[in-house]
């Protein structure tokens, strides 16, 4: 699913390819040129927010997910919840371990961030192998809330991350 009326080629033109980052063999999709262009940034946020209503919170994943999640939450009149790397949140947390395309990690969310029955939208910049997003969804569900959708700027379809998220409504603006 993608947003209707969004100029995807314009957005793609604002994404820089950086080979061998963060390690050899990885092609990093750098969104900083898109973020620096006001028209592209607005278009991306509008596209990612398209069709999401009745959402209590946007759950944004560290770190580029924060950049997209904050304006998206504002645009759909929802609160913002942060999913951070282990040890970064100041209060009581729940944690989830996950694998990614070049290692393993742990994410955490405050235990009082969301309440049972709330509908949340998970937001991140890129869907790669799906590990980070799956971990975030697990945190949301462990707190009793519902993942109403997952909204992404980019999907790297060749890595198969959508397979880990097949029970969710996953929307990505740009697919490689």
96-137 pLDDT, tens digit per residue, is 999 766 678 999 999 999 999 999 999 999 999 899 999 999
Q: Which two tokens stand for residue 108?
A: 């955490």
- Three-state secondary structure call for residue 125: strand
Map tokens 């990614």 to a residue.
100
* Confidence category of residue 1, pLDDT binned at 50, 70, 90: very low
Q: How many domains does the chain fold into?
A: 1
Say if 116 falls within a structural domain.
yes
Task: State which H helix or E strand residue 80 sits in.
Answer: strand 79-85
Residues 8-32 pLDDT 10s? 999 999 999 999 998 899 899 999 9
Give CA–CA dist 40/68, Å, rounded: 12
List residues with catalytic annotation.
64, 101
Say if 10 falls within a structural domain.
no
pLDDT score for 4: 62
Say if 97 falls within a structural domain.
yes
Say if 5 falls within a structural domain.
no
What residue numbers bound the domain in which 80 lies? 54-175
pLDDT score for 101: 60
pLDDT mean over 72-76: 97
Say if 24 falls within a structural domain.
no
Say if 58 falls within a structural domain.
yes
Give CA–CA dist 94/8, Å, rounded: 37
Query: Whole-prediction pTM value?
Result: 0.93
pLDDT score for 3: 57
Residue 78 sits in a domain of what CATH number? 3.40.50.2020
Higher pLDDT residue, 91 or 26? 91
Say if 37 falls within a structural domain.
no
What single DSSP character describes residue 133? H
Say if 63 falls within a structural domain.
yes
Q: Decide if 120 contacts 114 (C-beta within 8 A).
A: yes
Between the two ends of the chain, the Cα-to-Cα distance in Å is 14
Q: Decide if 165 contacts 134 (C-beta within 8 A).
A: yes
């Amino acid at each position: 699913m993608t947003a209707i009326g969004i100029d995807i080629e314009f957005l793609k033109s604002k994404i820089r390819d950086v080979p061998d980052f963060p390690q050899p063999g990885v092609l990093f999709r750098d969104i900083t040129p898109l973020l620096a262009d006001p028209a592209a940034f607005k278009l991306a946020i509008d596209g990612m927010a398209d069709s999401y209503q009745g959402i209590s919170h946007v759950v944004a994943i560290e770190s580029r997910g924060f950049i997209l999640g904050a304006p998206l939450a504002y645009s759909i009149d929802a609160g913002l919840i942060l999913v951070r790397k282990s040890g970064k949140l100041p209060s009581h947390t729940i944690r989830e371990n996950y694998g990614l395309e070049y290692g393993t990690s742990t994410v955490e969310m405050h235990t009082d961030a969301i309440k049972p029955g709330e509908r949340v939208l998970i937001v991140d910049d890129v869907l790669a192998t799906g590990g980070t997003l799956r971990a975030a969804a697990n945190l949301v569900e462990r707190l009793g809330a519902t993942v109403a959708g997952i909204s992404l700027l980019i999907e790297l379809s060749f890595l198969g991350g959508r397979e880990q998220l097949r029970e969710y409504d996953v929307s990505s603006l740009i697919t490689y």
